[in-house]
Amino acid sequence: MNSESITKWLTAIGVPADVVSIGAEADGAWCLIRTEHAPATQETGVAQAEDAPREVWEVFWREQGNRYDWASFTNEQVASHYLFGRLAWAQVVRGAIGTPPASG
């Protein structure tokens, strides 16, 4: 799973498309975006000019311009699976997917 395929997987488990934004920040949505950060050196904590930027994948809920429940990953697949897991769990909790309780 990656940022291109996650949308179809989320749709398959009933996650509404308007609560997910892939590749861009959007209010009232879980966001999965790619950013580049310059790596910091161990000694100073400051990036050096010769260091190449590294790709970082960020997952967060955005509301009124603020980021909540923010997580950062160096791997696109891990970030995609993390977001899928968060949203799949929410679907299970609200009873949208999973095995219904047995009648007693």
Q: Residue 31: what pLDDT?
A: 98
Q: What pLDDT does 100 receive? A: 62
Q: Which residues pair with 47 in a beta bridge?
A: 40
Q: Look up tokens 């909540």; give the residue.
A: 68
Q: What are phi and psi of 103, to 5 degrees?
A: -70, 135
Q: How far apart are the first and last CA of the chain?
A: 39
pLDDT at 95: 82
Q: pLDDT tens digits for 30-89? A: 999 999 876 655 555 565 556 667 899 999 999 999 999 999 999 999 999 999 999 999
CA-CA-CA-CA torsion sign (33, 11, 30, 27): positive
Q: State how beta strands 20-22 and 29-37 pair.
A: parallel
Residues 67, 92: Cα–Cα separation, whole Å: 24
pLDDT digits (tens, 9 = 90+) for 17-38: 999 999 999 999 999 999 987 6
Q: What is the pTM assigned to this prediction?
A: 0.78
| Residue 97, strand partner residues | none
Categorize the per-residue pLDDT at 96 as very low, low, confident or very high, splitting at 50, 70 and 90. confident
